[in-house]
Amino acid sequence: MTEQLDAGVVARQIKESDLLGGPGGGNEVGRARRRKEDARLVTGRTQWTDNIQLPGLLHVAFLRSPMAHARITRVDTSVARTQPGVVAVFSGADFAAEQGSLPCAWPVSEDIVIPDHPPMAVTEVRYAGEAVACVVATDRYKAADALDAIEIDYEPLDAVTDMTAALEDDSPKVHESGNKAFTWTFAQGDIDAAFRDAPVRVDRTYVQQRLIPSAMEPRAVVAQTDGDSFTLHSATQIPHILRVMLALTTGIPEHKLRVIAPDVGGGFGSKLQVTAEEVLCLLITRRLGKPVKWTESRSEGNLTVHHGRDQLQRISVAADADGRVRGVKVDLLADMGAYLMLVTPGVPLLGAFMYSGIYKMDAYDFTCTGVFTTKMPTDAYRGAGRPEATFAIERIMDELAAELGMDPIELRRRNWIGHTEFPYTTICGLTYDSGNYEAATDRALALFGYDKLRAEQADRRERDDPVQLGIGVSTYTEMCGLAPSRVLGSLSYGAGGWEHASVRVLPTGKVEVVTGTSPHGQGHETAWSQIVADALGVPFEDVAVIHGDTSSSHKGMDTYGSRSLVVGGVAVVQACEKVKEKAKQVAAHLMEASPDDVEFSRGEFRVRGTGTSRTIQEVALATFAAHDLPDGFEPRLDADATFDPDNFSFPHGTHLCAVEVDTETGATRIRSYVAVDDVGNVVNPLIVEGQVHGGIAQGIAQALFEEAVHDADGNLLTTTMADYLLPSAADLPAYTTDRTETPATTNPLGVKGVGEAGTIASTPAVVNAIVDALRPYGVRDVPMPCTPERVWRALGPARTTKSTDGGLS
């Protein structure tokens, strides 16, 4: 095993060529630059929100509902108020007049029900963990101690834990209005014709289990006020959106509220939220006039950081006898949890357009029903809707291949969009700008040794080896780079999808880039420096990237949906173009030439056909001095740009997974994993590889390990990292990764999003492999996570059947 893993390590090393220049024509874009961010991160000089100490800082601890659904009948905080170090105790009633309702920015349909969502429950709790009271004390231990002295009486109400049952007429209700939040439909083509008389039809139901995003840094908030204005530090992905939404929620005027996302330890969508704790910390600091801090414990976070996935997917595919797909039908139930949070109802819509995957077909029909349950709300988690959709289509393509007795790769070849057919408008109405599924697949097959593994699989089947080999295929694409504002508007999203950048050339020629993206591990400080270094011809080291503070970065849409480079990076490019144009005017003036005769290359303005030149640094100093500028020239080289993309970004790739499944124990082991991704041009291959690796790991984790489990009363059973299985290094394999590069045609960098690709691709690859291993036993599905027990149970009856046939026993 070690030998194979080692081979993977070698294959994944950054190539020497990656250390040289890239497709941008400069020296930096395309280069595997080590990250600027690392220096503070590997030495512990970090600025996590919980690090913040302020004079007079008070600590907040929240009391949380122990029941999934109950009426609050009595609250007594009097004893808690007398505990040592306790400054204040609040219950929901104390905030009722001012706390507003946590926002939902994505009312997906006209008839959507958006229930009131008080940050602190006042009369009723609807999920276990909902905040019901809080203590503010002089240190975190005393605050936690005093929680025990708060008395709350509850009148239990029936929990609603199952989506299907929740939609029955006699179900207990989560909200007065019932348990249905919305129904959203989409259809293209004649779906009845596609299914009528179809030679082959496959129907499946897949469960996307509920996941807990589990960023390593727990959430933390520090709020302070000088009596007039407010500053909120938060471990958030979205300082800009948060500022707007908090202003709207709390009534603090937007210009009196500064939001700072300092170093943020991962997000994966979980910190794309306006949280109860952020609102409440602002209200508490407004009430007390003192700075307050709240840092969650992990078990508190497992309960109350929004969860991900949790969908029930009924999917059908109709095909011709030769495997050509005629149509796909999807009927989806999506668990909203107890309330609609920032983009809760929009998550399944982000998947709605991806069920056709990379395939051509005649018709598509999609229905989604959002369902309330008495659980923590769901919302964006890495991929948000697209992993679910990709799982369903890639799983059912393997099922269809099995039905037809066809190799799953061959079936895909017969249906995918050929590389000469781009741009291609899919049945879902998206226009994929570019791609080459043939190239990525061929490369993946070669790296994987597909034929050899198939031969080994046949051999193991032949000799009834108790350890069977399975091969899983996932040829994915996804829509990311959120997003064209007009499209978001047409989907009823509450905001746009543009991104902003400012580029400032300082007197000494150093450059500051202010970005509206908000990195929390993605390496924007490095990648944006590379882009600017090439665009302006300045050294990589001379660029500083400023982000994450609404007072220094006043405008932005933040980081999620694999948008930062394809939207925010392009804004940086556009701002640099404007800077160059200004600098050219000054340079031409200094050289007494017409701007038309001046060309720019690698940081130098040169009069065409002469030896006369000025560096951009010389131009910067001359502009600063402003002694001799063109008439009417505004003395600055700064520029900004706001980029709104015309289209989404469509990365794609082929992931292949080989698993060994022990049919006696149900244990699975990933034998090899090959990923060939096409994310267009690459700014930094090191960062891209890191994103792909981490994405694959999270997708594998959904396939094999992770599940948020509730009991019948709606209590979360997986509240700690001891119960919710995040994979460690020992649980995961090495990956062999490679890239094909088909540039995007929709942005000047030719780049595509990469942040979510691995997660979207890997889950179906793994489950397809497990099912492939067990197909001779009649197994057609194993519910996720495919634990040894579940594999063993899936196998149990099938093995018996098989053995009575005189086959395997």
Partner 1 sequence: MPRISVTVDGIRYDEEVEPRLLLVHFLRDRLGKTGTPIGCDTSNCGACTVLLDGRSAKSCSVLAVQADGCDIVTIEGLAAGESWHPMQKAFHEEHALQCGYCTPGMIMAAIDLLHDDPDPSEEDIREGLEGNLCRCTGYCTIVRAVRRAAREMSQEQEGAAAS
| Interface characters, 747-786, with partner 1 (x: CB under 8 A) | -----------x----------------------------
Q: Given strand 604-607, what is the order of strands in its sheet?
A: 598-601, 604-607, 613-615
Binding to partner 1 in span 265-294, by CB under 8 A: 265-266, 268
Q: Which long-range contacts link 597-606 to residues 24+ away (Cβ below 8 Å)?
A: 600/537, 601/537, 602/26, 602/537, 603/536, 603/537, 603/538, 604/537
Q: Is 722 in the site for partner 1 (CB under 8 A)?
A: yes
If the CB atoms of residues 680 and 695 are measured against partner 1, the closer one turns out to be 695
Q: Is 804 in the site for partner 1 (CB under 8 A)?
A: no
Q: Is 137 in the site for partner 1 (CB under 8 A)?
A: no
Q: List all residues 6 or more positions away from 486 whose beta carbon is below 8 Å from its beta carbon.
A: none
Smallest distance, partner 1 to C-beta of residue 244, A: 25
Q: What are phi and psi of 328, to 5 degrees?
A: -130, 135
Which position among 298, 314, 414, 419 is part of the footprint of partner 1 (CB under 8 A)?
298
Q: Site for partner 1 (CB under 8 A): how many residues?
A: 65
3-class SS of residue 361:
coil
CA angle 563, 206, 356 (to 5 degrees): 50
Cβ atoms within 10 Å of 189's Cβ, excluding its own: 16
The whole-angstrom separation of Cα 325 and Cα 195 is 10
Smallest distance, partner 1 to C-beta of residue 135, A: 17
Q: Is 520 in the site for partner 1 (CB under 8 A)?
A: yes
Among the candidate windows 122-130, 155-163, 208-216, 786-794, which touches partner 1 by CB under 8 A? 208-216
Q: Is 728 in the site for partner 1 (CB under 8 A)?
A: yes
Which position among 68, 135, 160, 264 is part of the footprint of partner 1 (CB under 8 A)?
264
Q: 343 near 272, Cβ under 8 Å?
A: yes
Tokens 């951009």 correspond to what residue? 616
Smallest distance, partner 1 to C-beta of residue 84, A: 12
Q: Is 138 in the site for partner 1 (CB under 8 A)?
A: no
Q: Is 698 in the site for partner 1 (CB under 8 A)?
A: yes
Which position among 2, 420, 490, 804 is part of the footprint of partner 1 (CB under 8 A)?
2
Cite the DSSP H helix spans in 498-560: 524-536
- Tokens found for residue 392: 């369903």
Q: How do 58-64 and 292-295 pair as beta strands? A: parallel
Smallest distance, partner 1 to C-beta of residue 527, A: 12
If the CB atoms of residues 449 and 690 are measured against partner 1, the closer one turns out to be 690
* C-alpha to C-alpha distances, 623 to 606, 749, 763, nearest whole angstrom: 17, 29, 54
If the CB atoms of residues 302 and 740 are measured against partner 1, the closer one turns out to be 302
Q: Is 706 in the site for partner 1 (CB under 8 A)?
A: no
Among the candidate windows 124-132, 153-161, 446-454, 695-703, which touches partner 1 by CB under 8 A? 695-703
CA angle 601, 602, 603 (to 5 degrees): 95
CB neighbour class for 423 (10 Å; exposed up to 12, middle 13-18, buried from 19): middle
Q: Is 53 in the site for partner 1 (CB under 8 A)?
A: yes
Q: Is 85 in the site for partner 1 (CB under 8 A)?
A: no
Smallest distance, partner 1 to C-beta of residue 546, A: 19
Q: What is the SS3 string spanning 733-766?
A: CCCEEEECCCCCCCCCCCECCCCCHHHHHHHHHH
Among the candidate windows 101-109, 283-291, 514-522, 601-609, which touches partner 1 by CB under 8 A? 514-522
How would DSSP label each residue in 134-165?
Answer: EEEESSHHHHHHHHTT-EEEEEE------HHH
Q: Is 84 in the site for partner 1 (CB under 8 A)?
A: no
Smallest distance, partner 1 to C-beta of residue 64, A: 14
The whole-angstrom separation of Cα 773 and Cα 402 is 12
How would DSSP label each residue in 204-270?
Answer: EEEEEEEE----SSPPEEEEEE-SS-EEEEE--S-HHHHHHHHHHHH---GGGEEEE--B----TTT
Which position among 21, 85, 109, 140 is part of the footprint of partner 1 (CB under 8 A)?
140
- Tokens found for residue 687: 């960062």
Smallest distance, partner 1 to C-beta of residue 343, A: 21
The whole-angstrom separation of Cα 278 and Cα 149 is 24
Q: Is 46 in the site for partner 1 (CB under 8 A)?
A: yes
Which position among 18, 124, 263, 707 is part of the footprint of partner 1 (CB under 8 A)?
263
Cα 119 to the chain's mean position, in Å?
24
Among the candidate windows 263-271, 569-577, 586-594, 618-626, which touches partner 1 by CB under 8 A? 263-271
Which position among 12, 454, 510, 578 is part of the footprint of partner 1 (CB under 8 A)?
12
Which position among 21, 48, 158, 209 is part of the footprint of partner 1 (CB under 8 A)?
48
How would DSSP label each residue in 761-806?
Answer: HHHHHHHHHHHHHHGGGT----PSS--HHHHHHHHHHHHHHHHHTT
Q: Is 367 in the site for partner 1 (CB under 8 A)?
A: no
Binding to partner 1 in span 209-228, by CB under 8 A: 214-218
Smallest distance, partner 1 to C-beta of residue 281, A: 18
Smallest distance, partner 1 to C-beta of residue 2, A: 5
- Tokens found for residue 736: 């062999």
Q: How do 70-76 and 124-125 pair as beta strands? A: antiparallel
Smallest distance, partner 1 to C-beta of residue 92, A: 25
If the CB atoms of residues 318 and 766 are measured against partner 1, the closer one turns out to be 766
The whole-angstrom separation of Cα 157 and Cα 128 is 12
Q: Is 730 in the site for partner 1 (CB under 8 A)?
A: yes
The whole-angstrom separation of Cα 244 and Cα 254 is 6
Which position among 18, 28, 50, 707 is part of the footprint of partner 1 (CB under 8 A)?
50
Among the candidate windows 69-77, 351-359, 448-456, 725-733, which touches partner 1 by CB under 8 A? 725-733
Q: Is 712 in the site for partner 1 (CB under 8 A)?
A: no
Cite the DSSP H helix spans in 14-151: 38-43, 78-81, 92-95, 140-147
Which position among 545, 641, 657, 686 is part of the footprint of partner 1 (CB under 8 A)?
686
3-class SS of residue 538:
coil
Smallest distance, partner 1 to C-beta of residue 719, A: 9
Smallest distance, partner 1 to C-beta of residue 104, A: 27
Binding to partner 1 in span 15-44, by CB under 8 A: 34-35, 37-44
If the CB atoms of residues 52 and 334 are measured against partner 1, the closer one turns out to be 52
**Helices 524-536 and 570-590 meet at what angle, rounded to 10?**
30
Which position among 531, 571, 734, 761 is part of the footprint of partner 1 (CB under 8 A)?
734
Cite the DSSP H helix spans in 331-484: 347-352, 386-404, 408-415, 437-448, 450-462
Cβ atoms within 10 Å of 621's Cβ, excluding its own: 15
Q: Is 51 in the site for partner 1 (CB under 8 A)?
A: yes
Smallest distance, partner 1 to C-beta of residue 94, A: 28
**Helices 437-448 and 408-415 meet at what angle, rounded to 10?**
170
Among the candidate windows 8-16, 94-102, 121-129, 191-199, which touches partner 1 by CB under 8 A? 8-16
Smallest distance, partner 1 to C-beta of residue 19, A: 12
Q: Is 321 in the site for partner 1 (CB under 8 A)?
A: no
3-class SS of residue 39:
helix
The whole-angstrom separation of Cα 548 and Cα 239 is 6
3-class SS of residue 342:
coil
If the CB atoms of residues 7 and 187 are measured against partner 1, the closer one turns out to be 7
Q: Is 144 in the site for partner 1 (CB under 8 A)?
A: no
Binding site for partner 1 (CB under 8 A): 1-2, 5-6, 8-9, 12, 34-35, 37-46, 48, 50-51, 53, 139-141, 214-218, 263-266, 268, 295, 297-299, 520-523, 686-687, 689-690, 693-698, 720-722, 726, 728-730, 732, 734-735, 758
